[in-house]
Amino acid sequence: MFLTGFAALAVVPTLPTAARDLDGVSLFPVVAGCFVTASLLGGVVGGHWADRAGARRPLAAGVVLAVVTLVVSGVSTSIWQLAAGRFLDGLAAGMVAVSVNAAIGQAYPERLRPRALALMSSCWIIPSLVGPPLAGLVSEWWSWRAVFLGLAVLTLLPSLALVVVLRGPSLPEGAPPDDHPSRPPLLIAAVVSLGAALGQYGVSGWDVRHLLFVAGGLGLLVVFAPRLLPVGTWSAARGLPATVMLRGLSSGTYFTVEALIPLMLINERGAPAVLIGLAFTGAAVVWAGASWVQGRMESRPRHLLVAVGALVMAVAVGLAVVGTFNRGPVLIAASAMLLAAVGMGLLAPSLTVLSLSHSPSGRLGHTSGAMQTSQNLGQVTVMALAFATLNTCVAMGASTMAGYGAAFGLLLLPPLLIALLAGRARSTGGRVVAAVHADEPSLTGSGSD
């Protein structure tokens, strides 16, 4: 998990530079969205594989695939190869994240699972401090390719060692027989991932061909995505459906801000890559700090913390809008990433706690899967809408900075909607499980102490 976190946090700040060097800035939504769409499929694949045969095989496969993806991305000669590398990386990340949680559930008794989950979250602390600024320095002084290939070299031997350790019986002792049909969920997840990918490509341009891709992707999402989510999610029905929906809106807003701001600062404001790396580091640190704070507010209703976190994110998006003014300092836009992370640190773990309190007995794994699916769909959908707004403004003759301002203005709507609907996620009673304090986006825990 340490290597996964280091690779994930180090790679993201280099993507705008890589897209620029490969003459693919217009296709940046595809590069940014490929990881998310693939992680949705990878999570379903890893979860069903772990249920059928234990967590060892999908975990080992995900770790090996993660090394391969770094090489594919590092030697990219076109923006499409970089997108393919990010797709494979998302597939690997989804498998690893779900497999790690499944392994903890299979290997540890219930009383030790919270400690194991806390250990997994703590593995992200050092990568968040070191990874982004170091990647920014290497990218600026040497090459963005060195970041990908260097990470591949660093992770090769530990990954092979982990594969050796994971050798053994694939099915844990005492595990139930395979009675889970795997094909329908996997096929649905693959179709949903395809729809998300089509939509991401469609918003990269503004002509009939791109609009057809958008329409096709949207159609697939509308028809098949609800099958992976609780009934009533789209209408924010009280309880778990509303909680799942709010997770998608919050993740979509945050990670779109995290994608748009670096792209704007590097390509339009000429900000150094080191500054972007420091912004990512700061965001990771304040996210963890805000998560720690909410973990100590046990007497506060969780839905109120969700509303407060959403309002903080709305203020952060407002700062991003101000940061699009050419005369303003670049630090204004960069600081929006930090403030948005504060909001997510309050909001995300609170939603996790609420989802577990709403989950029926024996369905915690299914609930966690629904939350992760909603998170990925929210990222894809909100990011696609934001980039579509940006490209539409530019196609209509507006300046690029005006397009960024309009895109950020659109992002004000989801956090305000979250604040308005937070009461629908309110816990109706019962024992609420404490969330892991760091609550990294792909490391949602489901254990209780």
Q: 153-167: per-residue pLDDT in tens? A: 888 888 888 888 777
Residue 223 sits at φ, ψ, to 5 deg, of: -80, -45
Q: Match 């609550």 to its residue by tokens.
A: 439
Q: What is the pLDDT of residue 11?
A: 79
* Residue 211 sits in the same domain as residue 254: no
Average pLDDT, the chain: 78
Residue at 186 is within a domain: no
Q: What is the DSSP letter of 328?
A: S
Cβ-proximal residues to 416 (8 Å cutoff; 6+ apart), any chain: 310, 314
Cβ-proximal residues to 420 (8 Å cutoff; 6+ apart), any chain: none
* Least-confidence region, from 29-33, 240-244, 402-406, 421-425: 29-33
Residue at 179 is within a domain: no
Structural domain tally of the chain?
3
* Residue 30 sits in the same domain as residue 163: yes
The H-or-E segment that residue 386 falls in is helix 364-395
Chosen domain end from 228, 246, 275? 228
Structural tokens at position 130: 């070191």
Q: Which residue has the higher pLDDT, 42 or 306?
A: 306
Residue 443 sits at φ, ψ, to 5 deg, of: -125, 40
The arithmetic mean of pLDDT across residues 250-269, rounded, is 88
**pTM for the complete prediction?**
0.71
Q: 301-330: per-residue pLDDT in tens? A: 888 999 999 999 999 999 998 888 766 677
Q: 57-102: per-residue pLDDT in tens? A: 888 888 888 888 889 888 888 888 888 888 888 888 888 877 776 6
Cβ-proximal residues to 86 (8 Å cutoff; 6+ apart), any chain: 15, 31, 32, 34, 35, 38, 69, 73
Q: What is the pLDDT of residue 248?
A: 92
Residue at 317 is within a domain: yes
The arithmetic mean of pLDDT across residues 193-200, rounded, is 75
* Residue 6 sits in the same domain as residue 80: yes
* Residue 390 sits in the same domain as residue 271: yes
Residue at 85 is within a domain: yes
DSSP, collapsed to helix, strand or coil, labels residue 101 as helix
Q: What is the pLDDT of residue 174?
A: 38
Residue at 153 is within a domain: yes
Q: What is the pLDDT of residue 153?
A: 86
Residue at 181 is within a domain: no
* Residue 334 sits in the same domain as residue 362: yes
Measured distance CA(289)–CA(437) in Å, rounded: 9
* Residue 358 sits in the same domain as residue 398: yes
User: Per 3-state DSSP, what percentage of the chain is helix, strand, and coil (rounded to 5)?
Assistant: 75, 0, 25
- 10 Å CB burial of residue 326 (0-12, 13-18, 19+) is exposed
* Residue 313 sits in the same domain as residue 384: yes
CATH no. for residue 120?
A: 1.20.1250.20
Query: DSSP states of 354-384 as a string?
Result: HHHHHSPTT-HHHHHHHHHHHHHHHHHHHHH
How far is the CA of 343 from the CAs of 291, 339, 418, in angstroms? 9, 7, 12
Cβ-proximal residues to 315 (8 Å cutoff; 6+ apart), any chain: 339
* Residue 304 sits in the same domain as residue 337: yes
The arithmetic mean of pLDDT across residues 125-143, rounded, is 76
Range of the domain at 423: 233-449
